[in-house]
Amino acid sequence: MSGYQLHLPLILIALATSVGVLTTVYAAYYLKKYERTKQVVTFTVLATTITIWTFFALLQLTATTYAQSYWAYKMLHFGSFTTAPAVFLYGLSMGDARRWVNWKVGAVLVLVVSPVFVLLFTDPVPFLFENPRLHPFGAFSVIEHGNSPLYVSYLTAFYVIATVGLSYIVYQTWSDSSLSPGQTAILVPAIFAPMLLSVAHTFSLLPFETPGTILTPTSFSVGMAGIGYAAFRYETFDTKALARSRTIENMSEGYLLVDTGGEVIDSNQSACSLLDAETSLTGSHISDLFPDVAEQVSGGRKTAQSFETTVETGHETRTLEVVISNLITDAGQTLGTLFVVHDITTRKKATQQLEKQRNDLDILNQVLRHDVRNDLQLVTSYGELLTDHVDGDGDEYLVTLRESADHAVELTKTAREMADVMLSREDAQQQDEVNLGKTLERELDKIETEYPDARVRVEESLPAVQIRANQMVDSVFRNLLSNAIQHNDKDVPEVSVSATTRDETVVIRIADNGPGVPDDQKEEIFGRGEKGLDSSGTGLGLYLVQHLVMQYGGEVWVEDNSPEGAVFAVEVPRADEA
């Protein structure tokens, strides 16, 4: 390059300039490829200002004439005077104060810095530099000058601004666990050390003679390399990493990261609260927190495991569920173990309460099965014995007595079946293939025996298909058949049963010649309307029918019969087509 000559002693600042260019280019690449966060933007600005500083410092030191050297010296101040505000903004971007990193604050800083750039190119320059001159220093020359009060004031203000930014970084590291102390240990010295060198050189405090033009930007470039290493090494710019750290800190579940020696190397505040710890859990041994953990964790297992434990606090016993996941590389090496702690106290109490209610319902079911039903059957038996001993008006009362007792027996039977459904465990609720034809024939035989005065017929033959149901399906057809007879107002109740096979389902229709069901009760009759089980002509039986059919994945509804009566239709899935 004409008018410029690189000397061997300047190789250090040449390397510093190269470091600055590479760091700036990488920061710009990262800015373009990933999300444009304030921290990435401010770091890119900081890298750019330091690179401008070192580049023009290199030009000044390699210049062969005073004019070229002095022009480059003035240009390097575009980097040196903007580095301090860039440090300040970068510091703010690392914490909650990032809201101040905006165009308004940027505009204020531009207004503060702009006058100095005007003064730099005032000819002559009496405001900032006193008696500028070219001073030989070994194989090259440097610009030397006296420092005017205005120049010193600007430098002092800029260094104060930069110190505030660095102090905020230290404060954030102390108060925000998402920032790594190791990161801060690299960041702060990397920026603060060059600042101290610059101040010491400006006020002639160094014990040796060296041109500040080479010392300060070189040290800043080395420091910037440290900043870049810290930022990318600790994923400061990685939005995903930052989101993970904030999520872990704010989640209600406890988080414990344990190394292969069993020491807790990271935790969140929720873990301290759940385990009733007064201080941070980091540094604790996992066996002190969970004494039986060695029995719960199988080394090398990739699948998550879990166990329950209790913690006694000052006012309650807390039940915790701990999920354990080993962190294993593709090569099979275990790096550590992750413990996620859930508070299941409320769920545990609800389960215990539900179990108690289930036990109470089981007792009630036993009472319905034996005591109440046996007493009612005793009433029915004695009512039959009284038939030959009652005449006149007593016959009517006796008939009412026997009918009421029979109805109560039927009610206890249905209530018992409802209890069986509610008490049944998952294994009892599992569905299997049920032969529809045999089920209907069995229930038709029973209904004809119980109601010999009724006329029950089957329309055509019942299809020999398998349906998806369980042992309670008998109750569906028994309740529908008995309902068609019990609520019939004819002297001779008539009931017809038919079944239609479709591609994936079977529709069973039970029709009667009774009073029918009004349109406004066709929904309520299954207990889904406002009146529910209190509506006319309804009872537990139809509610049980709907409950079971829906459990099988089917549907039940009521239609009008012709010329009179009602048709109850049940559609259930075929097992042979499932």
Residue with tokens 């964790």: 297
At 535, is the secondary structure helix, strand, or coil?
coil
Residue 366 lies in a domain: yes
Task: Tell me the β-bridge partners of 285.
Answer: 263
Please, which pLDDT band fits residue 121 given cuts at 50, 70 and 90?
confident
- Cα 231 to Cα 169: distance, rounded to the nearest angstrom: 13
Highest mean pLDDT among 21-25, 184-188, 291-295, 395-399: 21-25
- Are 541 and 479 in contact by the 8 Å Cβ rule? The answer is yes
Whether 14 and 160 map to the same domain: the answer is: yes
Q: Which of 147, 226, 146 is nearest to 186 (CA)?
A: 226
Read off the tokens for 261: 């020696």
Choose one of 213, 243, 273: the last residue of a domain: 243
**Residue 231 confidence (pLDDT) above 80:** no
Q: In what order do the strands lie in the sheet with 505-512?
A: 455-458, 494-501, 505-512, 566-573, 555-560
Residue 35 contacts by C-beta under 8 Å, 6 or more apart in sequence? 239
The mean per-residue pLDDT over the stretch 220-229 comes to: 63
Residue 553 contacts by C-beta under 8 Å, 6 or more apart in sequence? 468, 572, 573
**Own/partner pairs for 522-531, CB < 8 Å, 24+ apart?**
522/557, 522/558, 525/558, 526/556
Q: Lowest-pLDDT range, 101-105, 154-158, 402-406?
A: 402-406
- Are 169 and 184 in contact by the 8 Å Cβ rule? The answer is yes
pLDDT for the residue numbered 535: 37
- Cα 109 to Cα 396: distance, rounded to the nearest angstrom: 105
The mean per-residue pLDDT over the stretch 559-567 comes to: 90
Residue 181 lies in a domain: yes
- Cα 347 to Cα 198: distance, rounded to the nearest angstrom: 63
Please, which pLDDT band fits residue 54 given cuts at 50, 70 and 90?
confident
The mean per-residue pLDDT over the stretch 307-318 comes to: 83
Residue 494 lies in a domain: yes
Choose one of 400, 423, 446: the last residue of a domain: 423
Whether 413 and 496 map to the same domain: the answer is: no
Q: Lowest-pLDDT range, 27-31, 203-207, 406-410, 497-501?
A: 203-207
Q: Which of 22, 155, 150 is nearest to 85 (CA)?
A: 155
Q: Is the dihedral of CA 327, 252, 262, 289 positive or negative?
A: negative
Task: Tell me the β-bridge partners of 341.
Answer: 254, 322
Whether 566 and 512 map to the same domain: the answer is: yes
User: Which carries the bigger pLDDT value, residue 182 or residue 450?
Assistant: 450
Would you list the DSSP string of 335-374? Answer: EEEEEEEEE-HHHHHHHHHHHHHHHHHHHHHHHIIIIIHH
CB neighbourhood size of 264 (10 A)? 20
Q: Where are the beta strands (DSSP E) in 120-236?
A: 129-137, 140-147
Q: Which of 110, 92, 109 is nearest to 101 (CA)?
A: 92
Residue 3 lies in a domain: no
Preceding peptide of 563 cis, ω within 30°: yes
User: Which carries the bigger pLDDT value, residue 358 or residue 270?
Assistant: 270
Whether 569 and 442 map to the same domain: the answer is: yes
* Helix H or strand E segment including 322: strand 317-328
Mean pLDDT over each residue of the chain, to the nearest integer: 78
User: Which carries the bigger pLDDT value, residue 417 or residue 498?
Assistant: 498
**Residue 567 confidence (pLDDT) above 90:** yes
Q: Which domain holds residue 414?
A: 355-423
Vertex 463 angle, CA 457 and 464, to 5°: 125
User: Which carries the bigger pLDDT value, residue 202 or residue 458?
Assistant: 458
Whether 84 and 52 map to the same domain: the answer is: yes
Read off the tokens for 279: 């201080």
Whether 62 and 197 map to the same domain: the answer is: yes
pLDDT for the residue numbered 27: 79
Whether 375 and 441 map to the same domain: the answer is: no
CB neighbourhood size of 290 (10 A)? 21
Q: Is 351 exposed, middle or buried (0-12, 13-18, 19+ CB in 10 A)?
A: exposed
Q: Where are the beta strands (DSSP E) in 350-448?
A: 432-435
Residue 483 lies in a domain: yes
pLDDT for the residue numbered 367: 67
pLDDT for the residue numbered 426: 47
Please, which pLDDT band fits residue 211 given cuts at 50, 70 and 90?
low
pLDDT for the residue numbered 302: 58
Task: Tell me the β-bridge partners of 317.
Answer: 312
- The CATH number given to whatever domain includes residue 462 is 3.30.565.10
The mean per-residue pLDDT over the stretch 67-95 comes to: 86
- The CATH number given to whatever domain includes residue 200 is 1.20.1070.10
Please, which pLDDT band fits residue 331 given cuts at 50, 70 and 90?
low
Whether 44 and 107 map to the same domain: the answer is: yes
- Are 237 and 37 in contact by the 8 Å Cβ rule? The answer is yes
pLDDT for the residue numbered 157: 84
Q: Which of 365, 398, 364, 363 is nearest to 379 (CA)?
A: 398
Q: Which amino acid is at 270?
A: S
Whether 232 and 304 map to the same domain: the answer is: no
**Residue 305 confidence (pLDDT) above 90:** no
pLDDT for the residue numbered 532: 37
Residue 348 lies in a domain: no
Choose one of 214, 243, 272: the last residue of a domain: 243
- Cα 517 to Cα 565: distance, rounded to the nearest angstrom: 8
- Cα→Cα distances 403→127, 397, 486, 566, Å: 117, 10, 11, 23
Residue 492 lies in a domain: yes
pLDDT for the residue numbered 510: 94
- The CATH number given to whatever domain includes residue 271 is 3.30.450.20
pLDDT for the residue numbered 243: 54
How many structural domains compose the chain?
4
Residue 186 lies in a domain: yes
- Cα 105 to Cα 100: distance, rounded to the nearest angstrom: 7
Residue 208 contacts by C-beta under 8 Å, 6 or more apart in sequence? none
pLDDT in tens, 146-166: 888 888 888 888 888 888 888
Q: Which of 77, 76, 99 is nearest to 89 (CA)?
A: 99
Radius of gyration of the chain (CA): 44
Whether 303 and 447 map to the same domain: the answer is: no
**Residue 111 confidence (pLDDT) above 60:** yes
Whether 455 and 392 map to the same domain: the answer is: no
**Residue 531 confidence (pLDDT) above 50:** no
- Distance, C-alpha 65 to centroid of its chain: 66
Whether 72 and 176 map to the same domain: the answer is: yes
pLDDT in tens, 479-503: 899 889 888 888 899 999 999 998 8
Please, which pLDDT band fits residue 427 given cuts at 50, 70 and 90?
very low
Q: What's the DSSP call for residue 31? A: H
pLDDT for the residue numbered 129: 82
Q: Which of 350, 180, 328, 326 is nearest to 258 (CA)?
A: 326
